Amino acid sequence: MARLRSLEREDLAPEYQHVYDDIAASRGGVPPNYKVLLNSPQAVSRMAALGAYVRFETPLPARTKALALLTTAREAEGDYVWTMNQPQARTAGLTENIINAIRERRDPAFLAPEDAAIVRFALELLQQHRISEATFRAVQQQLGDAGVVDLLIFIGYYSSLSHALSALEIQPPVPSTLSS
């Protein structure tokens, strides 16, 4: 059970109800994680805006986002983020073997070089707080300068979200209720 209560639109002061509406409009509803984060409507408003950018607007390829997201969620032990994003990872072309390899923290060397570079980039950033020159250049060559920045912001967003949801003990829904 979450450490804070889940809020609905009517629980918010009138001046913050637009935050609920904005989140609902950008995501087709307000997900359970955001309902708890609404305990700080100003903070979650800004977090949701960044989330909308990294999820829906960044020009990063869907496969790149899926690899980075699952790697980030796994490193942060973000069960909610991991669980909720597996269906999109499959849609982006990640096989069960790749998903299981990330879950099991296997060396990404078996992946295609472009995929391995994305996973290494996320791992180095999250584990060492630095990125080696070789990994940086491989991702820069693949995504360009703007893509590198987008990927860094993407990883930072999902790391922050994973940690916040874990600290608040927000549990993912039962897997059988997720669409595949």
List the chain domain ranges: 9-57, 62-167
User: Which CATH class name applies to 62-167?
Assistant: mainly alpha
Residues 6+ apart with CB under 8 A from 141: none
**pLDDT of amino acid 180:** 40
Rounded average pLDDT over 59-82: 97
Cβ partners under 8 Å of residue 12, min gap 6: 19, 20, 38, 41
Mean pLDDT in the chain? 94
CA–CA separation, 94 vs 107, rounded Å? 16
pLDDT confidence of residue 178:
52
What would the pLDDT profile of 14-70 be if each residue is shown by its tens digit? 999 999 999 999 989 999 999 999 999 999 999 999 999 999 999 999 999 999 999
Task: Report the predicted TM-score, pTM, of the whole model to 2 decimal places.
Answer: 0.93
Q: Give long-range contacts, CB 8 A cutoff, 24+ apart: 3-9.
A: 3/167, 3/168, 3/169, 4/36, 4/39, 4/168, 5/36, 5/39, 6/32, 6/35, 6/36, 7/35, 7/36, 7/38, 7/39, 8/35
Q: What tokens appear for 176 in the block?
A: 């059988």
Q: What is the pLDDT of residues 125-155, one digit of tens each?
A: 999 999 999 999 999 999 999 999 999 999 9
DSSP state of 146: H
CA proximity to 129, closest of 105, 156, 151: 156
> Burial level of 139, CB count in 10 A (0-12/13-18/19+)?
buried
